[in-house]
Amino acid sequence: MHRYSPADERTIRAIADYCLDRLAMEAPLDRPLTPAELDAQVGQTVVAAGMGPDEALRLWADVLGPACLSVDHRRYLSFIPNAPTKAAAAFDMLVGASNVYGGSWLEGAGAVYAENQALRWLADLAGLPAEAGGVFVQGGTIGNLSALVAARESALHKRGGRPRRWAVCVTGETHSSVKHALHVVMDVDVVEVPGDARGRLLGSALLATVAGLPDEVRDGIFAVVATAGSTNLGVVDDIAGVAAVADQHGWWLHVDGAYGGAGLAAPSARHLFAGVERADSFIVDPHKWLFAPFDSCALIYRDPVQARAAHTQHAGYLDPVTVEGEWNPSDFAIQLTRRARGLPFWFSLAVHGTDAYRDAVEQTLAVARTGADLIRDADHVRLLVEPDLTVLLFERIGWDVEEYARWGSRLLAEQVAFVTPTRHGGRVCTRFAIVNPLTTADDLALIIDSMH
């Protein structure tokens, strides 16, 4: 018994074939087109009569798809790339085709059960207690915001009132999403603590900065954000030192491991994260260094009861899903309806096993360490920050911003690599962010050589 027509079946098969091809090949980097180029090659697709599946899919395959960069290319090293396993990417198709509702236990019990096992693996890596738990949200931005909102709500209840202004301690290297959440979304003040020479937040600096604040500012602090793998530098804060200061003041400790949290899986890097077991909330993006497709951020709370108090929505029509003892993902973040976006990550973990994840993260760390040596050994480039994880920040000696831009454009035009400039300490430089186990030291050498 087919529930679809022959025409539907042709469309489904054509899309599945496209996906199979995309997963089977080493896709080219591709390149963005200008709006004018897209107008010329695509034009108006949304029309009253519809263009039919063949033409719409042809436009995707021939023009629109290749006008999107392959973020999973092994020499895509800008921003934070991603590198989904085939299992994870394939399961993402299934999630779409099954149309699972992931917001409540009532509607998505099987999905939530599986997602929670994936969250548990992450909580165990971090050393969080048995009652810890949370939800997969869209990305680190929503993860950080949701955690900080829960932190403020918890502080409000503990104090029984508001200070003149709320405040949160961060550093210059704290991700832009945290500062955006605090400033724009939450209207909370930011106390910026100076980082050490590598931009790390240390407990001692936090203590000294806070001691120098006027009483009324200090009184408004309710949380501190430690970064476990800063985006620009790949460096891990002194989480244990920060946790001690947070404890002493009764602040919430949020650990942002959106990129670097994956390093918890690697025995060779685990020591860098000491203290993460004391976090009140923790995030890591499987869509960054844990081999899942976009979009997926694991948000985990030490005490989910406090998170639920902040995030559960109440309404008569929601009463049926509010059942004691059932885990409703919508209770833990700023969202209600939700795609079961942790499932591709769960499936791949279940298929490959956690040892394979450990090995894949170790592989990227090993390539990054070799890449750092290549940069140290070359005369024309200079490593700017000693790396902790898999981000390498370096400069081409003597280059200005235009030379970086020309070089980057040439590498993309020749489909060799995607590497963009960045800034550090007021100077222009560049960086490699390596999250793909297929990236080799030879790939890095090729790009470093291209800067002669």
Ligand X SMILES: *Cc1c(COP(=O)(O)O)cnc(C)c1O
Question: Minimal distance in Å, beta carbon 226 to ligand X?
Answer: 11
Question: Minimal distance in Å, beta carbon 30 to ligand X?
Answer: 21
DSSP structural state of residue 433: E
Q: Which is nearer to ligand X, 412 or 435 (CB)?
A: 435
Question: Minimal distance in Å, beta carbon 231 to ligand X?
Answer: 4
Q: Which positions touch ligand X (CB under 6 A)?
A: 80, 139-141, 144, 175, 177, 227, 231, 256, 258-259, 285, 297
How far, CA to CA in Å, does 171 sit from each of 51, 267, 392?
52, 27, 20
Q: Which is nearer to ligand X, 72 or 256 (CB)?
A: 256
Q: Which is nearer to ligand X, 260 or 304 (CB)?
A: 260
Q: Which is nearer to ligand X, 104 or 422 (CB)?
A: 422
| DSSP string of 157-204, one letter each residue | HHHTS--SS-EEEEETTS-HHHHHIIIIIS--EEEEEPP-TTS---HH
How far, CA to CA in Å, does 430 sit from each of 222, 369, 371, 393, 397?
35, 17, 14, 6, 11
What are φ and ψ of residue 263, in 5° steps?
A: -60, -20
Question: Minimal distance in Å, beta carbon 137 to ligand X?
Answer: 9
Q: Do 346 and 129 touch, CB atoms closer than 8 A?
A: no
Which residues does residue 429 pair with via DSSP β-bridges, in sequence order? 422
Query: The tokens 């590497």 sit on which residue?
Result: 419
Please give the structure tokens belonging to residue 11. Answer: 């469309």
Question: Minimal distance in Å, beta carbon 256 to ligand X?
Answer: 5
Question: Minimal distance in Å, beta carbon 1 to ligand X?
Answer: 41
The residues, ordered by sequence, that sit 6+ positions from 87 with a Cβ below 8 Å of its Cβ are 347, 348, 351, 352
Buried b (16+ CB within 10 A) or exposed e, 189-216: eebebebeebbbbbbebbbebbeeeeee
What does R_g of the chain's alpha carbons equal in angstroms?
A: 23
Helix and strand counts by DSSP (H, E) for the chain? 16, 11
Question: Minimal distance in Å, beta carbon 314 to ligand X?
Answer: 27
Question: Minimal distance in Å, beta carbon 149 to ligand X?
Answer: 15
| DSSP string of 236-261, one letter each residue | B--HHHHHHHHHHHT-EEEEE-TTGG
Q: Which is nearer to ligand X, 141 or 154 (CB)?
A: 141
Give CA–CA dist 92/437, Å, rounded.
20
Q: Which is nearer to ligand X, 203 or 257 (CB)?
A: 257
Please give the structure tokens belonging to residue 307. Answer: 């998170």
How far, CA to CA in Å, does 253 sit from each of 11, 216, 301, 441, 447?
49, 21, 10, 37, 39
Q: Do 344 and 293 touch, CB atoms closer than 8 A?
A: yes
Q: Which is nearer to ligand X, 147 or 307 (CB)?
A: 147
> CB-hemisphere CA count at 13 Å for 241?
14
Q: Do 394 and 383 touch, CB atoms closer than 8 A?
A: yes
Q: Which is nearer to ligand X, 264 or 297 (CB)?
A: 297
Question: Minimal distance in Å, beta carbon 259 to ligand X?
Answer: 4
Q: Which is nearer to ligand X, 140 or 220 (CB)?
A: 140
Question: Minimal distance in Å, beta carbon 406 to ligand X?
Answer: 27
Q: Which is nearer to ligand X, 202 or 292 (CB)?
A: 292
Q: Which is nearer to ligand X, 200 or 396 (CB)?
A: 200
Question: Minimal distance in Å, beta carbon 270 to ligand X?
Answer: 18
Give CA–CA dist 390/289, Å, rounded.
10
Q: Which residue is nearest to ligand X (CB)?
A: 140
